[in-house]
Structure 1
């Protein structure tokens, strides 16, 4: 199982790298494509658009395929999308390639989390999911800075060529080490879509949208906040971004085992902590040292809620968790776009660069309120983790022994 989890996490690493590396290469992209930086920025939105559309769509289309086959198909589409980014030269073609690359993002991560949870068993589901998502966080420490540096030195397309290579390695690793698991046995697309009607799934997805938007209300504007408010030189911003990635990694490592024992309480504490850290950031952001420390903590508490929410949605989807798991990543990308928009709205209204943190506090508290409400109305009780029987169903109706192949 460790090699299978590592192969799945490598795919997450490639996905995290391609999603965020373009943010550090926008000037190079804009110059090469002969468009303003603001127009080049729409390429970030293009990728997010692909994620939101692709997560439910590709998952739905693949419901009758074995899960290992689905993983290979999704990573193949991801490879083709990034290769198209490398080979195309016009802005419109690059835009289309970013949409294509984003389509399998949520579908792959959602299914990878589901497969990892199935392989780990009910007692270690959250830990296994956190290990896969660790690929995303490590990408922000290693992949994004390294890709940015390579792109600045050798041309921005080189960064995406590296992603293509990572995608190919992931395909080889999944093919070799991930065991075969059969297709879902819940009635295909109709059965999978039924999961989205479960009130607890809806509440879980809504929690992700609002709660996680609090993180991106700040993260989207961390560069001007550091330079304008903390007085940090622009050369220090990449270090701060790497520190944010360190915090993400620590949060993923710590929260997974805790959530295995106390699922809902972990979500409550993470969201409450997120609101508290964002409120603290309005004070600490005026000093470069305190701001940098707070950024690490923000990464930890912000991304510490992702694995527990993923497990909750999979559990409440019962025997049809595949599309719910993938749609959860659409929810996180809606949070990304919504948080960035609301944070920018505060700045645009003349409220200053502190306003995104204040807005983030409100969003985190709304997410906490939704999470608590979901717990109170849950038949299993406000703090209950899924029962073993419930968790076995959520791990997939295909609970028979798996075979390698």
Structure 2
């Protein structure tokens, strides 16, 4: 494996942390900027929406720019976005900074994937893609606990300062170690959208949307839930997030084994059903902190277990546009994050944070129904799935 792939994976980890990092310091930000917790949650929503929409558009616009130059320039824009976040005097400025960070982050992630596959031999391409996705998933898992720890120790601005510093270091490493890479032909956006056809494929993508919507409806507001329902302080909250992170990483590995053993279709059905049930139980078991940790561990593990089966299923049903479908699925995940944080904010604002997990469980049930619908549609182009 080319060592530069690890550089790209680490960079993806650094930029990916910003998306959900607000979740762990939501109450601190809302208090300092004098806005409601639900408004603070919309900082995740806006980021995720911009991320989901920006990647295919920006990739098309910048299709003729040399890749190394574009990568470093985009990292610089991302750096500026985080500097603005760290010094934001009010909510509006922070919101603008989140939009800037999201658009640049989306392009960095896509460029990391395309550059990684272009600098390795053909027999290493799958592993290179897997390495970049490890960086992305790791950032989503560990961004919140890191933000929580730093935010509670040094204030909510400190995570953005750290990410700004790490981004500068990433820029320097990319400048010295990446070689110039000429741009390749980019599939026009209209052609990409045309590949998303048929009820089987659309409903398959919706599995990711509703799965993440349900998950983030509760996860984005986990910190205030832990404080109000379990009475936990900053130290224990950081510990809960650490346990969550370990379980999520384990879930990714277990998901690959389960998918290989049961097949992608059966795995998707079983995992979405279990995830909905476990998520429903989270508020029910708060009477026992240790029982809650067990259920939370299962919830976290299942949240990432579905990914290998879902990616494999998309390849099986649309092999002729597999790369594009992977890109769309990445956008689907972030669209789910946006919907989840928005929906969770509405529940907190109008009802009680106690209901977030139950509303999220219903969203996951929709993912299960989408899976049933997709699996019962005829195969695309006569391709046989597992």
**TM-score with structure 1 setting the length:** 0.76
> Which 5+ residue runs of structure 1 have no aligned equivalent?
384-405
| Residue pairs, 1:263-302, within 5 angstroms | 265-266=263-264, 268-270=266-268, 272-283=270-281, 285-286=284-285, 287-302=288-303
Cα separation, 1, equivalents of 2:178 and 2:256: 21
Cα separation, 2, equivalents of 1:280 and 1:102: 31
Aligned equivalent of 1:30: 30
Cα separation, 2, equivalents of 1:375 and 1:66: 42
Aligned equivalent of 1:401: none
Aligned equivalent of 1:379: 382
Q: Cα 1:220–1:370, aligned 2, differ >3 Å: closer, same or farther?
A: farther
Q: Cα 1:217–1:121, aligned 2, differ >3 Å: closer, same or farther?
A: farther
Q: Cα 1:207–1:143, aligned 2, differ >3 Å: closer, same or farther?
A: closer
Q: Cα 1:30–1:309, aligned 2, differ >3 Å: closer, same or farther?
A: same
Q: CA deviation at 1:36?
A: 4.0
Quick check: 1:81–1:98 contact (8 Å CA) kept in 2? yes
Quick check: 2:81–2:100 contact (8 Å CA) kept in 1? yes
Aligned equivalent of 2:39: 39
> Which 5+ residue runs of structure 2 have no aligned equivalent?
none
Q: CA deviation at 1:163?
A: 0.8
Aligned equivalent of 1:154: 154
**TM-score with structure 2 setting the length:** 0.79
Q: Cα 1:154–1:182, aligned 2, differ >3 Å: closer, same or farther?
A: same
Q: Cα 1:81–1:290, aligned 2, differ >3 Å: closer, same or farther?
A: same
142-151 vs 345-354, greater mean Cα deviation: 345-354
> How many residues get paired?
379
| Residue pairs, 1:163-182, within 5 angstroms | 163-177=163-177, 181-182=181-182
331-340 vs 113-122, greater mean Cα deviation: 113-122
| Residue pairs, 1:305-344, within 5 angstroms | 305-306=306-307, 309-310=310-311, 316=318, 318=320, 321=323, 325-342=326-343
112-121 vs 129-138, greater mean Cα deviation: 112-121
Q: Cα 1:354–1:279, aligned 2, differ >3 Å: closer, same or farther?
A: same
Cα separation, 2, equivalents of 1:65 and 1:314: 29
Aligned equivalent of 2:91: 91
Helix, strand or coil: the match of 1:89?
coil
Q: 1:363 aligns with which of 366, 369, 375?
A: 366
Alpha-carbon RMSD: 3.8
